[in-house]
Amino acid sequence: MVKKIKNLKEFSLSNDRFEGANLMCPGCSHNIIVREVLNATNDPVIVATATGCLEVCTAVYPKTSWDVSWIHIGFENAAVAAATVSAAYEVMKRKGKLPPATQKMVDEGREPKIVAFAGDGGTYDIGFQSLSGAFERGHNFMYVCLDNEVYANTGGQRSSSTPIGASTTTSPAGKVSYGEKMMKKSMVEIMADHGAPYVAQVSPSKWKDLVKKVQKGFEVNGPVYINAQSACTTEWKHAPEDTIEVSDLGVDSCVWPLYEIINERDEHGIIYNTKLNITYRPKNKIPVEEYLAAQPRFRHLFKPENRHIIDLWQKAVDTKWEYLQKREEAGV
Protein backbone atom coordinates (compact mmCIF):
# COMPACT_ATOMS: atom_id res chain seq x y z
CA MET A 1 0.00 0.00 0.00
CA VAL A 2 1.66 3.24 -1.13
CA LYS A 3 1.75 5.90 1.55
CA LYS A 4 0.51 9.35 0.57
CA ILE A 5 2.93 12.07 1.61
CA LYS A 6 1.85 15.67 1.22
CA ASN A 7 4.77 17.70 2.53
CA LEU A 8 7.98 17.58 4.57
CA LYS A 9 6.28 18.69 7.76
CA GLU A 10 3.78 15.88 7.59
CA PHE A 11 6.52 13.45 6.53
CA SER A 12 8.76 14.40 9.42
CA LEU A 13 5.90 13.88 11.86
CA SER A 14 5.29 10.33 10.66
CA ASN A 15 5.18 7.73 13.36
CA ASP A 16 8.85 6.95 13.98
CA ARG A 17 9.89 3.32 13.85
CA PHE A 18 13.54 4.28 14.18
CA GLU A 19 14.50 6.20 17.28
CA GLY A 20 16.60 9.29 16.64
CA ALA A 21 18.08 9.19 20.14
CA ASN A 22 20.88 6.80 19.23
CA LEU A 23 24.67 6.88 19.31
CA MET A 24 25.29 8.14 15.76
CA CYS A 25 27.41 11.26 15.28
CA PRO A 26 25.53 14.57 15.15
CA GLY A 27 25.01 15.38 11.50
CA CYS A 28 25.21 11.75 10.34
CA SER A 29 23.34 11.08 7.12
CA HIS A 30 22.62 7.46 8.02
CA ASN A 31 19.93 8.56 10.48
CA ILE A 32 18.25 10.73 7.89
CA ILE A 33 18.28 8.04 5.21
CA VAL A 34 16.95 5.30 7.50
CA ARG A 35 14.10 7.52 8.69
CA GLU A 36 13.24 8.51 5.13
CA VAL A 37 13.19 4.88 3.99
CA LEU A 38 11.10 3.64 6.93
CA ASN A 39 8.73 6.60 6.72
CA ALA A 40 8.14 5.97 3.03
CA THR A 41 5.64 3.29 4.00
CA ASN A 42 3.03 2.61 6.64
CA ASP A 43 3.29 -1.11 6.00
CA PRO A 44 5.21 -3.32 8.44
CA VAL A 45 8.97 -3.27 7.92
CA ILE A 46 11.59 -5.86 8.87
CA VAL A 47 15.23 -4.78 8.82
CA ALA A 48 18.60 -6.51 8.51
CA THR A 49 21.72 -4.46 9.12
CA ALA A 50 25.36 -5.20 8.40
CA THR A 51 28.03 -4.52 10.97
CA GLY A 52 28.91 -0.85 10.78
CA CYS A 53 28.05 2.56 12.20
CA LEU A 54 24.30 2.03 11.98
CA GLU A 55 24.48 -1.31 13.76
CA VAL A 56 26.87 -0.39 16.57
CA CYS A 57 24.98 2.82 17.30
CA THR A 58 21.42 1.56 17.37
CA ALA A 59 21.36 -1.83 19.13
CA VAL A 60 23.65 -1.73 22.13
CA TYR A 61 22.22 -4.05 24.75
CA PRO A 62 19.99 -3.49 26.66
CA LYS A 63 18.76 -0.70 24.38
CA THR A 64 17.47 -0.70 20.84
CA SER A 65 16.54 2.14 18.51
CA TRP A 66 14.36 -0.11 16.40
CA ASP A 67 10.59 -0.36 16.69
CA VAL A 68 10.57 -2.85 13.82
CA SER A 69 11.98 -6.38 13.87
CA TRP A 70 15.68 -6.09 13.25
CA ILE A 71 18.61 -8.44 12.83
CA HIS A 72 22.34 -8.04 12.65
CA ILE A 73 24.51 -11.09 11.96
CA GLY A 74 27.83 -9.92 10.56
CA PHE A 75 29.63 -7.53 8.28
CA GLU A 76 29.33 -9.45 5.02
CA ASN A 77 25.89 -11.00 5.18
CA ALA A 78 23.17 -8.33 5.44
CA ALA A 79 21.91 -9.26 1.97
CA VAL A 80 21.54 -12.96 2.69
CA ALA A 81 20.01 -12.13 6.08
CA ALA A 82 17.27 -9.99 4.53
CA ALA A 83 16.84 -12.41 1.63
CA THR A 84 16.38 -15.38 3.94
CA VAL A 85 13.98 -13.54 6.24
CA SER A 86 12.05 -12.86 3.05
CA ALA A 87 12.21 -16.56 2.14
CA ALA A 88 11.08 -17.55 5.65
CA TYR A 89 8.17 -15.11 5.36
CA GLU A 90 7.12 -16.59 2.01
CA VAL A 91 7.25 -20.15 3.40
CA MET A 92 5.15 -19.28 6.44
CA LYS A 93 2.67 -17.39 4.28
CA ARG A 94 2.36 -20.37 1.97
CA LYS A 95 1.97 -22.76 4.89
CA GLY A 96 -0.62 -20.47 6.54
CA LYS A 97 1.53 -20.22 9.66
CA LEU A 98 2.20 -16.49 9.91
CA PRO A 99 1.66 -14.91 13.34
CA PRO A 100 -1.96 -13.62 13.53
CA ALA A 101 -1.09 -9.91 13.53
CA THR A 102 1.08 -10.38 10.46
CA GLN A 103 -1.57 -12.45 8.68
CA LYS A 104 -4.08 -9.67 9.35
CA MET A 105 -1.78 -7.11 7.72
CA VAL A 106 -1.30 -9.38 4.72
CA ASP A 107 -5.08 -9.79 4.42
CA GLU A 108 -5.38 -6.00 4.35
CA GLY A 109 -2.89 -5.86 1.48
CA ARG A 110 -0.09 -4.58 3.71
CA GLU A 111 2.69 -7.09 3.27
CA PRO A 112 5.85 -6.53 5.31
CA LYS A 113 8.67 -4.74 3.52
CA ILE A 114 12.03 -6.39 4.12
CA VAL A 115 14.97 -4.00 3.98
CA ALA A 116 18.73 -4.47 4.38
CA PHE A 117 20.96 -1.55 5.36
CA ALA A 118 24.73 -1.74 4.95
CA GLY A 119 27.57 0.68 4.50
CA ASP A 120 29.78 0.78 1.44
CA GLY A 121 32.30 -1.52 3.15
CA GLY A 122 29.56 -4.09 3.73
CA THR A 123 28.28 -3.62 0.18
CA TYR A 124 31.05 -2.78 -2.31
CA ASP A 125 33.67 -4.91 -0.53
CA ILE A 126 33.14 -7.61 2.06
CA GLY A 127 29.40 -8.09 1.49
CA PHE A 128 29.51 -8.10 -2.28
CA GLN A 129 29.42 -11.88 -2.70
CA SER A 130 26.40 -12.26 -0.46
CA LEU A 131 24.68 -9.31 -2.18
CA SER A 132 25.36 -10.68 -5.66
CA GLY A 133 24.10 -14.14 -4.66
CA ALA A 134 20.91 -12.79 -3.13
CA PHE A 135 20.16 -10.68 -6.22
CA GLU A 136 20.87 -13.58 -8.57
CA ARG A 137 18.38 -15.71 -6.64
CA GLY A 138 15.78 -12.96 -6.96
CA HIS A 139 14.53 -12.73 -3.37
CA ASN A 140 11.93 -10.10 -2.64
CA PHE A 141 13.72 -7.44 -0.57
CA MET A 142 15.25 -3.98 -0.73
CA TYR A 143 18.95 -3.39 -0.15
CA VAL A 144 19.97 0.13 0.83
CA CYS A 145 23.65 1.00 0.75
CA LEU A 146 24.49 3.87 3.09
CA ASP A 147 27.43 5.03 1.03
CA ASN A 148 29.81 7.29 2.93
CA GLU A 149 32.72 6.13 0.80
CA VAL A 150 34.85 4.96 3.71
CA TYR A 151 35.02 2.46 6.60
CA ALA A 152 33.78 5.10 9.00
CA ASN A 153 32.96 2.79 11.90
CA THR A 154 36.53 1.53 12.19
CA GLY A 155 38.23 4.88 11.85
CA GLY A 156 38.14 5.94 8.23
CA GLN A 157 39.91 3.34 6.10
CA ARG A 158 39.50 3.35 2.32
CA SER A 159 36.95 1.06 0.64
CA SER A 160 36.36 0.37 -3.04
CA SER A 161 33.78 3.15 -2.84
CA THR A 162 36.35 5.75 -1.75
CA PRO A 163 36.78 8.24 -4.60
CA ILE A 164 40.13 9.19 -6.06
CA GLY A 165 42.07 11.76 -4.12
CA ALA A 166 40.30 11.26 -0.79
CA SER A 167 42.63 11.15 2.18
CA THR A 168 41.69 8.23 4.42
CA THR A 169 43.58 6.51 7.22
CA THR A 170 44.79 3.80 4.84
CA SER A 171 45.18 6.05 1.80
CA PRO A 172 46.46 9.17 3.53
CA ALA A 173 47.61 12.16 1.58
CA GLY A 174 51.29 12.75 2.21
CA LYS A 175 54.45 14.29 0.87
CA VAL A 176 54.43 12.02 -2.15
CA SER A 177 50.76 10.96 -2.27
CA TYR A 178 47.51 12.70 -3.17
CA GLY A 179 45.53 10.05 -1.25
CA GLU A 180 43.28 7.35 -2.70
CA LYS A 181 44.48 6.20 -6.13
CA MET A 182 41.41 4.35 -7.45
CA MET A 183 38.19 5.63 -8.95
CA LYS A 184 34.98 4.69 -7.15
CA LYS A 185 33.38 1.38 -8.12
CA SER A 186 30.19 1.72 -10.24
CA MET A 187 27.89 -0.12 -7.89
CA VAL A 188 24.57 1.08 -9.34
CA GLU A 189 25.35 -0.30 -12.82
CA ILE A 190 26.77 -3.51 -11.35
CA MET A 191 23.55 -4.14 -9.45
CA ALA A 192 21.38 -3.20 -12.44
CA ASP A 193 23.35 -5.73 -14.49
CA HIS A 194 22.17 -8.42 -12.07
CA GLY A 195 18.79 -7.96 -13.72
CA ALA A 196 17.17 -6.48 -10.63
CA PRO A 197 13.80 -4.94 -11.48
CA TYR A 198 14.63 -1.63 -9.82
CA VAL A 199 17.91 0.08 -8.98
CA ALA A 200 18.31 3.71 -7.99
CA GLN A 201 20.73 6.26 -6.63
CA VAL A 202 19.46 8.72 -4.04
CA SER A 203 20.54 11.49 -1.72
CA PRO A 204 18.91 12.22 1.66
CA SER A 205 18.89 15.91 0.81
CA LYS A 206 16.47 15.25 -2.04
CA TRP A 207 13.95 13.58 0.22
CA LYS A 208 11.00 13.55 -2.19
CA ASP A 209 13.09 11.87 -4.87
CA LEU A 210 14.37 9.35 -2.30
CA VAL A 211 10.92 8.53 -0.96
CA LYS A 212 9.45 8.17 -4.44
CA LYS A 213 12.17 5.71 -5.41
CA VAL A 214 11.83 3.71 -2.21
CA GLN A 215 8.07 3.54 -2.76
CA LYS A 216 8.62 2.35 -6.32
CA GLY A 217 11.05 -0.25 -5.01
CA PHE A 218 8.54 -1.48 -2.46
CA GLU A 219 5.98 -2.01 -5.22
CA VAL A 220 8.09 -4.23 -7.46
CA ASN A 221 8.57 -7.94 -7.02
CA GLY A 222 12.21 -8.98 -6.64
CA PRO A 223 15.43 -7.52 -5.29
CA VAL A 224 15.81 -3.74 -5.28
CA TYR A 225 19.08 -1.87 -4.83
CA ILE A 226 19.21 1.72 -3.55
CA ASN A 227 22.56 3.49 -3.42
CA ALA A 228 22.25 6.31 -0.92
CA GLN A 229 24.75 9.14 -0.63
CA SER A 230 25.67 9.43 3.03
CA ALA A 231 27.79 12.48 3.79
CA CYS A 232 29.93 11.65 6.81
CA THR A 233 30.77 14.52 9.08
CA THR A 234 33.47 12.49 10.82
CA GLU A 235 35.36 11.20 7.80
CA TRP A 236 34.52 13.78 5.15
CA LYS A 237 35.38 16.21 7.92
CA HIS A 238 32.76 18.85 7.23
CA ALA A 239 30.83 20.50 10.05
CA PRO A 240 27.83 18.48 11.32
CA GLU A 241 25.43 21.26 10.39
CA ASP A 242 26.68 21.20 6.78
CA THR A 243 25.59 17.63 5.99
CA ILE A 244 22.66 18.59 3.80
CA GLU A 245 24.61 21.35 2.10
CA VAL A 246 27.47 18.99 1.25
CA SER A 247 24.93 16.44 -0.01
CA ASP A 248 23.38 19.10 -2.24
CA LEU A 249 26.80 20.09 -3.59
CA GLY A 250 27.33 16.44 -4.54
CA VAL A 251 24.03 16.30 -6.35
CA ASP A 252 24.28 19.72 -8.03
CA SER A 253 27.82 19.04 -9.28
CA CYS A 254 26.62 15.68 -10.66
CA VAL A 255 29.23 13.91 -8.54
CA TRP A 256 26.22 12.12 -7.13
CA PRO A 257 23.70 11.99 -9.95
CA LEU A 258 20.18 10.96 -9.03
CA TYR A 259 18.82 8.34 -11.41
CA GLU A 260 17.08 5.01 -11.60
CA ILE A 261 17.50 1.94 -13.78
CA ILE A 262 14.40 -0.12 -14.44
CA ASN A 263 14.71 -3.60 -15.87
CA GLU A 264 11.24 -4.25 -17.27
CA ARG A 265 10.49 -7.94 -17.05
CA ASP A 266 7.71 -10.07 -18.43
CA GLU A 267 5.74 -12.57 -16.36
CA HIS A 268 8.60 -15.08 -16.77
CA GLY A 269 11.15 -12.59 -15.50
CA ILE A 270 12.70 -12.09 -18.92
CA ILE A 271 13.97 -8.54 -19.33
CA TYR A 272 12.48 -6.98 -22.46
CA ASN A 273 13.53 -3.43 -21.80
CA THR A 274 16.00 -1.52 -19.65
CA LYS A 275 15.31 2.14 -18.95
CA LEU A 276 17.52 4.68 -17.27
CA ASN A 277 15.84 7.83 -15.97
CA ILE A 278 17.68 10.82 -14.60
CA THR A 279 15.38 12.01 -11.83
CA TYR A 280 17.09 15.28 -10.96
CA ARG A 281 18.77 17.68 -13.33
CA PRO A 282 20.62 20.57 -11.66
CA LYS A 283 19.58 23.95 -13.01
CA ASN A 284 23.16 25.13 -12.71
CA LYS A 285 25.68 22.30 -12.79
CA ILE A 286 28.31 23.55 -10.37
CA PRO A 287 32.02 22.73 -10.71
CA VAL A 288 33.25 19.63 -8.88
CA GLU A 289 35.80 21.86 -7.19
CA GLU A 290 33.06 23.37 -5.03
CA TYR A 291 32.03 19.95 -3.81
CA LEU A 292 35.64 19.00 -3.06
CA ALA A 293 36.39 22.30 -1.36
CA ALA A 294 33.58 21.75 1.14
CA GLN A 295 35.26 18.62 2.51
CA PRO A 296 38.64 18.66 4.24
CA ARG A 297 39.24 15.06 3.12
CA PHE A 298 40.10 16.64 -0.25
CA ARG A 299 41.95 19.69 1.11
CA HIS A 300 45.37 18.54 -0.17
CA LEU A 301 44.06 18.38 -3.74
CA PHE A 302 44.16 22.17 -3.83
CA LYS A 303 47.97 22.18 -3.60
CA PRO A 304 49.54 22.99 -6.95
CA GLU A 305 51.10 19.52 -7.33
CA ASN A 306 47.71 17.83 -6.86
CA ARG A 307 45.55 20.12 -8.97
CA HIS A 308 45.56 17.62 -11.81
CA ILE A 309 43.44 15.29 -9.68
CA ILE A 310 40.71 17.95 -9.50
CA ASP A 311 40.85 18.19 -13.29
CA LEU A 312 40.62 14.41 -13.51
CA TRP A 313 37.64 14.46 -11.15
CA GLN A 314 35.82 16.99 -13.30
CA LYS A 315 36.50 14.93 -16.40
CA ALA A 316 35.28 11.73 -14.74
CA VAL A 317 32.09 13.41 -13.49
CA ASP A 318 31.35 15.03 -16.85
CA THR A 319 31.93 11.77 -18.68
CA LYS A 320 29.59 9.85 -16.37
CA TRP A 321 26.94 12.56 -16.59
CA GLU A 322 27.10 12.46 -20.39
CA TYR A 323 26.97 8.68 -20.34
CA LEU A 324 23.84 8.74 -18.16
CA GLN A 325 22.16 11.29 -20.42
CA LYS A 326 22.99 9.24 -23.50
CA ARG A 327 21.54 6.13 -21.93
CA GLU A 328 18.42 7.99 -20.89
CA GLU A 329 17.98 9.41 -24.36
CA ALA A 330 18.50 6.03 -25.99
CA GLY A 331 16.11 4.37 -23.52
CA VAL A 332 18.55 1.63 -22.51
Q: Which residues bind another protein (CB under 8 A)?
A: 44, 46, 48, 55-56, 59-62, 64, 66-74, 76-77, 80-85, 87-92, 95, 98-102, 105, 112, 129-130, 132-134, 136-137
Is residue 47 within 8 Å of residue 69, measured between CB atoms? Answer: yes
79 vs 276, beta carbon nearer another protein: 79
44 vs 282, beta carbon nearer another protein: 44
DSSP string, 122-133: IIIITTHHHHHH
88 vs 239, beta carbon nearer another protein: 88
Residue 31 CB, shortest distance to another protein, in Å, is 17
Residue 58 CB, shortest distance to another protein, in Å, is 9
Give the per-residue SS3 of 174-194.
ECCEECCCCCCCCHHHHHHCC
Please give the Cα distance from 234 to 166 (Å, whole number). Answer: 14
92 vs 316, beta carbon nearer another protein: 92
Q: Which long-range contacts (CB under 8 A, 24 or more apart) does 61-65 make?
A: 65/18, 65/19, 65/20, 65/21, 65/22
Residue 132 CB, shortest distance to another protein, in Å, is 7
Residue 75 CB, shortest distance to another protein, in Å, is 9
134 vs 310, beta carbon nearer another protein: 134
64 vs 273, beta carbon nearer another protein: 64
Please give the Cα distance from 75 to 165 (Å, whole number). Answer: 26
Residue 112 CB, shortest distance to another protein, in Å, is 6
Please give the Cα distance from 138 to 310 (Å, whole number). Answer: 40
In Å, how far are 48, 58, 69 from 62, measured between CA atoms?
18, 11, 15
152 vs 251, beta carbon nearer another protein: 152
Name 79's Cβ contacts closer than 8 Å, sequence gap at least 6: 116, 118, 127, 130, 131, 133, 134, 135, 143
Residue 300 CB, shortest distance to another protein, in Å, is 35
Residue 330 CB, shortest distance to another protein, in Å, is 33
Is residue 25 within 8 Å of residue 233, measured between CB atoms? Answer: yes
Please give the Cα distance from 131 to 75 (Å, whole number). Answer: 12
Instruction: Return the DSSP state at 121.
Output: I
Residue 127 CB, shortest distance to another protein, in Å, is 10
Please give the Cα distance from 117 to 108 (Å, whole number). Answer: 27
81 vs 214, beta carbon nearer another protein: 81
